[in-house]
Amino acid sequence: MHPSDDPTAEQLEARCERFRQVFKRLAAEIEGRVVGHFDVVEAALIALCAGGHVLLEGVPGLGKTLLVRTMARALGLPHSRIQCTPDLLPADITGTITLVETAAGGRDVAFRRGPVFANLVHVDEINRATPKTQAALLEAMQERAVTVAGVTHALPAPFFVLATQNPIEMEGTFPLPEAELDRFFFKLRVAFPAIHDLVEILKLTTGAPAPPAGPVVTAEELTDLVGVCREIVVAEAVYRRAARLVRATHPDSPDAPEVVQRSVRFGASPRGAQALVLGGKVKALLAGRFNVGYADLEAVAPAALRHRVILALEAESDGIDADTVVQAAIEATRERE
């Protein structure tokens, strides 16, 4: 950026304020249609603002697909849906070379884009796709590009993947490999709604159909918002805290609490630390601050780390899940502060 393009503090403050307003509008628009999942909606929007992909996990019927569809509409972005099945092929996602008729009446080969070429891609029941097909998403998620027949095609920006998976029906599924799980910025658990939320859902879905969510933001605005998040300042101590938190999830680390040493096979990757800091930046911005605090890191840590921690077999037998491990790591690093 040229020095003259450097925004003034007032301009930057105005952008931050606009970010907060847009975020609130988005959240309100989505929560009007998806009842009882405020935390999930906020975390999903944080991940989108940080430029990350989201994996939603929950039993059928909790509104995961509705959430993704509503988000896509509220964001006003072109979106597509991929329903994963065991016979889904990579080319069904990325696109393929087909024989097309030219205007002159001749024939030619052309690349036909797959559903991954959208700003927001909803991958439903991602663990039902075969590992080969799942792997096709890897490049798209990480590089934001796909390579077909030796030619790399860039994906549109912004590009978000919102995948869902069902944790209870494991027959005929292919658990996501760790490398792919690591590509997801957040893993969010969609919990069963409370009674009063369930009542609201019944009112919303059994009466006259509610109008669909309208777009609140454009793609350009969204790109600008993502840029604002990156401007938030992080103190050296906060970077160190994020690094220590991730290290504390490794069983061989001296900072690791006892539950981590006993129950974890592999700890979180450096991508986990990146997710912590970026998610913390959005949280700080939403709180009206221009800096990240420890509390911001701790707030996003479960969503950012739970799918990056690989538990040992003993953990399952002891009834310890990833959230317990992450919470123990948070407390261990907090005590050592």
Give contact residues for another protein (rule: CB under 8 A): 6-9, 11-13, 231-238, 284, 287, 289-296, 337
Q: Which is nearer to another protein, 62 or 278 (CB)?
A: 278
Toward another protein, which CB reaches closer, 110 or 233? 233
Nearest approach in angstroms of CB 5 to another protein is 11
Residue 320, classed as helix, strand or coil, is: coil
CA 191 vs CA 59, 218, 297, 301: distances in Å: 8, 30, 22, 18
Nearest distance from C-beta of residue 9 to another protein, angstroms: 4
Counting Cα atoms < 13 Å in the Cβ hemisphere of 158 gives: 26
Q: What is the DSSP string of 224-278?
A: HHHHHHHH-B--HHHHHHHHHHHHTTSTTSTT--HHHHHHEEE---HHHHHHHHH
SS3 content of the chain, % helix, strand, coil (to 5): 50, 15, 35
Kindly tell me which of 225 and 238 has the beta carbon lying closer to another protein.
238
User: SS3 for 114?
Assistant: coil
Closest to another protein by CB, 6 or 258: 6
Number of H helices, E strands in the chain: 14, 11
CB of 11 to another protein, least distance (A): 7
Sign of the C-alpha dihedral, residues 146, 148, 153, 156?
Answer: negative
For the bound state, the minimum distance from the C-beta of residue 271 to another protein, rounded and expressed in Å, comes to: 23
Both structure tokens of 147: 């390579």
* Closest CB to another protein among residues 171, 335: 335
For residue 292, the minimal CB distance to another protein (Å) is 7
Distance from C-alpha of 259 to C-alpha of 191, rounded to nearest angstrom: 25
Closest distance between another protein and the C-beta of residue 172, in Å?
47
Nearer to another protein, 215 or 293 (CB): 293
